Amino acid sequence: MTRPFPRAAARALPKAELHVHLEGSVDPTTMLSLAERHGVSPPAPDEAGLRGWLHFDGFPDFLERYFWICGLLRDRDDFALIADTYLRSAHAQGVVHVEFHVSSSYHIVEREADWSEILGGIVEGCDRAEAETGISSLLIPDLSPHLGAAAAHRALDVVLAERDPRVIAVGMGGPSDNWPEEDFASAFVRVRDAGLHTVSHAGEHGPAWEVRHAVEEFGAERIQHGIGAMDDPAVVALLVERGIACDVCPASNVALAAVPSIDVHPLPAMLDAGITVTLGSDDPPLFATDLLAEYEHAWNLCGLDEAGLRALAENSLVESFADRARIDGWRAAGSGGNES
């Protein structure tokens, strides 16, 4: 009954990936080489073992793995390597543009690392991948709410002082336990005053009000996940009326138990409601996914045809923060059916 996913046609569509975390994009081969470089004993000796280890059980397990990977990222070369490596893998899936979320609060506040070295490394990796494959990329430093508003401002001080042109937006990178009590809105005022875009994770495990709060208080232009919006028609209407896209990651939502199984993922309802959706892989090796697998989930869940796949790819280009001229070029290439 399930129709075969037209993988080659999906790969050939020019598309952007707007919801992927740089630190969560590191594949097992790169993890092993970073562990060796830094004299760290890996939790498994080879790639297959590491893939098994990455299959986590529950959120604390996920965080343990995520932060083990973060602990391997120490110098400029590490960041250049992981950005370059992920962009090549995205390019192989027909991705023409990536917007990397980067955990800036973690690096700047929690680790007290040198952000200019980190940013320099990431930009070097992006430049290298672009020179060799043509893939475009931009950066979205994320603020972590669990550290509090004062720490968000501290991270932002550093992020705004380093104005590499690849930094295009600032995001909110975590759940809302303290959103109402703390003044994060003023951080996003600073972001906009600096001429950057604003985005926010919201409505992943949390309820619809998170999504409204992100839009109204943070001025979020795109929402990462946003699936919780479906519990409140007024929030759905807000997203539709303002044309705010949700960057949805079905495999991540299942792996982190935001939805009980892929069969009941709200993606079809989001599309039916008229919400603009783009697909992302979030932290792909941790969720045993990649962007084409997310298109396959959408194909199966929503009963899409190839025009439906094309519409999702188009959304990702149109909703990206890339230059209009580049977006127009990618869209023209897509409507001709050729890989750009």
User: Contacts with Zn ion in 221-240 (CB under 5 A)?
Assistant: 224
| CA–CA distance, 154 with 161 (Å, rounded to integer) | 11
Nearer to Zn ion by Cβ, of 103 and 334: the residue is: 103
Q: Taking CA 25 as the corner, what is the angle to CA 118 and CA 102, rounded to the nearest 5 degrees? A: 40
Q: Which is nearer to Zn ion, 215 or 251 (CB)?
A: 251
Q: Residues 45 to 64: which contact Zn ion by CB under 5 A? A: none
Q: How far is the CB of 266 from Zn ion (least distance, A)?
A: 17
Residue 142 CB, shortest distance to Zn ion, in Å, is 8
Respond yes or no: is residue 117 known to be catalytic: no
What's the residue count for the chain? 340
Is residue 311 within 8 Å of residue 78, measured between CB atoms? no
The count of other CB atoms within 10 Å of the CB of residue 271 is 20
Smallest distance, Zn ion to C-beta of residue 169, A:
14
Tokens coding 156: 């932002």
Under rule CB under 5 A, how many of the chain's residues touch Zn ion?
A: 2
Q: Which H or E run includes 306?
A: helix 306-318
CA–chain centroid gap for 154, Å, is 23
Q: What proportions of the chain, in percent to the nearest 5, are helix, strand and coil?
A: 55, 15, 30
d(C-alpha 187, C-alpha 154), whole Å: 10
Q: Restricting to residues 169-228, name those near Zn ion by CB under 5 A.
A: 224
Least gap, CB of 21 to Zn ion (angstroms): 6
Q: Alpha carbon of 141 to those of 10, 13, 152, 204, 273: distances in Å?
A: 29, 27, 11, 19, 30
The contact mask relative to Zn ion for 274-313 (x = CB under 5 A, - = no) is --------x-------------------------------
**Which is the catalytic residue, given 99, 204, 314, 319?**
204
Task: Write down the least CB distance from residue 173 to Zn ion, Å.
Answer: 7
Q: Which is nearer to Zn ion, 30 or 224 (CB)?
A: 224
Tell me if 89 sits within 8 A of 290, measured CB to CB. yes
4 or 60: CB nearest Zn ion: 60
Nearer to Zn ion, 76 or 320 (CB): 320
Catalytic residue numbers read 204
Site residues (CB under 5 A) for Zn ion? 224, 282
